[in-house]
Chain A
């Protein structure tokens, strides 16, 4: 299930962290999810490249305090919009499943 939502998770982590390099994105995901997602850390990087290619992220090289070159990513406007759309879809889905499992009717979304 996680694999299908990896892009949304990475976008959300970057939205929370602002500009961040891969390691910081992983730490943000771990911290915000309470360590619930146990995925190989390396899978984040192809996702970052894929999202950048899709125009949802942009990136630039910076120099870290230790002198190493570091690739830092941030959301583009398209990325911010895409995240908002995915959030809305997820909320709708989550409400519907919550309603089914918990017996509570999901709120009607205005047309």
Chain B
């Protein structure tokens, strides 16, 4: 009977395997101890009583889901800041490499590159400001005890900040790609291309990672809302 209850609880928490495993072990310890210390005779009755006292598996899972969602949204906000830092390092490494290898943009392409560079800078600083703001915002919020309208509003603001960060970063990376193409065009294919191409690949991978995390939190928010019945 206890195993069935634990299976039900773990199934409800399927969206977070690590949490499901931890909760299963903790709850099993609780229920077995409750049966052992409160048993007055029949084992089946003792198990029934322990499970009844523990509460409905779905309701308990819904409360865990809220805690997990808050944790994931904080992690996504931290990931956004780390992604911004990684892209900054990749950009700086590429620029340093251009200086070492003396790869320069051709004169006729300079007006275009200046414009793209401006777009790149503004987009990056926007991403930095919004990303840091989103991270500080979500960190300063209390972990909710219910999926109430104020928490929905909080999550909405968080998603807007994440999406704006990702969009600004994507524009910055796109500008970087254009600048990289302008820098490499005209130069013969050589090993000197390796660093710019690799750094661009890192930037694209960082953006993909961020988008993946945001989508994961959005999916988690939807399943938490379904579990809490809101």
Taking Cβ atoms with an 8 Å cutoff, the residues of A that contact B are 3, 6, 21-23, 26, 40-43, 45-46, 49-50, 53-54, 64, 66, 68-71
The complex places the Cα of A71 from the Cα of B21 at a distance, in Å, of: 12
* A40-B54, A41-B55, A71-B22 known; A53 vs B30 contact (CB < 8 Å): no
B93 lies within 8 A of chain A by Cβ: no
17 sample A-B contacts, Cβ–Cβ < 8 Å, listed by A number: A3-B145, A6-B145, A21-B26, A21-B29, A22-B30, A23-B33, A42-B27, A42-B59, A43-B60, A43-B63, A45-B30, A45-B64, A46-B60, A53-B143, A54-B143, A64-B29, A70-B29
- Cβ of A86 to closest chain B Cβ, rounded Å: 13
- Secondary structure of the A contact surface, majority rule: helix
In this complex, the member of B23, B26, B63, B71 whose beta carbon has the largest number of chain A beta carbons within 10 angstroms is: B26
Residues of A within 8 A of B55 (CB): 40-43
- A21 vs B33: C-alpha distance in the bound complex, in angstroms? 11
Chain B proximity of A94: nearest CB distance (Å): 22
Q: How many A-B residue pairs have CB under 8 A?
A: 67
User: Which of B28, B63, B142 has most chain A Cβ within 10 Å?
Assistant: B63
Query: CB-defined interface of B68-109 with A at 8 Å, one 1/0 digit per residue?
Result: 001100000000000000000000000000000000000000
Distance in angstroms between the alpha carbons of A42 and B8 in the assembled complex: 14
Residue of B at shortest CB range from A49? B67
B66 within 8 A of A: yes
Of the candidates A26, A66, A71, the one whose C-beta lies within 8 Å of that of B26 is A71
Q: Which residue of A lies closest to B25 (CB)?
A: A69
Task: Say which size band chain B's interface belongs to.
Answer: 20 to 34
Which of A6, A22, A41, A50 lies in contact with B67, CB distance below 8 A?
A: A50
A64 / chain B contacts, CB cutoff of 8 Å: 29
Known A-B contacts: A41-B34, A66-B32. Give 8 more (CB < 8 A).
A40-B53, A40-B54, A40-B55, A41-B30, A42-B54, A46-B64, A49-B64, A53-B71
Cβ of A50 and Cβ of B143 under 8 Å apart?
yes
B54 near A41 (CB under 8 angstroms)?
yes
The 7 closest A-B pairs by CB, nearest first: A40-B55, A46-B63, A42-B55, A42-B60, A42-B54, A49-B67, A23-B30
Q: A50-B67, A53-B67 are in contact. Are A41 and B53 (CB under 8 A)?
A: yes
| A22 smallest CB distance to B (angstroms) | 5
Query: Known: A23-B29, A54-B143, A71-B25. Is A45-B60 also a contact (CB below 8 A)?
Result: yes
Contacts of B145 in A (CB 8 A): 3, 6, 50
CA distance A40 to B9 in the complex (A): 15
Q: With A23-B29, A46-B67 as known contacts, state yes or no: A54 contacts B59, CB within 8 Å.
A: no
Query: B63 contacts A68, CB within 8 Å?
Result: no
Least Cβ distance of B186 to chain A in Å?
54
CB distance from B70 to the nearest CB of A (A): 7
For the complex, give the distance between the alpha carbons of A61 and B28 in Å.
14
Q: How far is the CB of B51 from chain A (nearest CB, A)?
A: 9
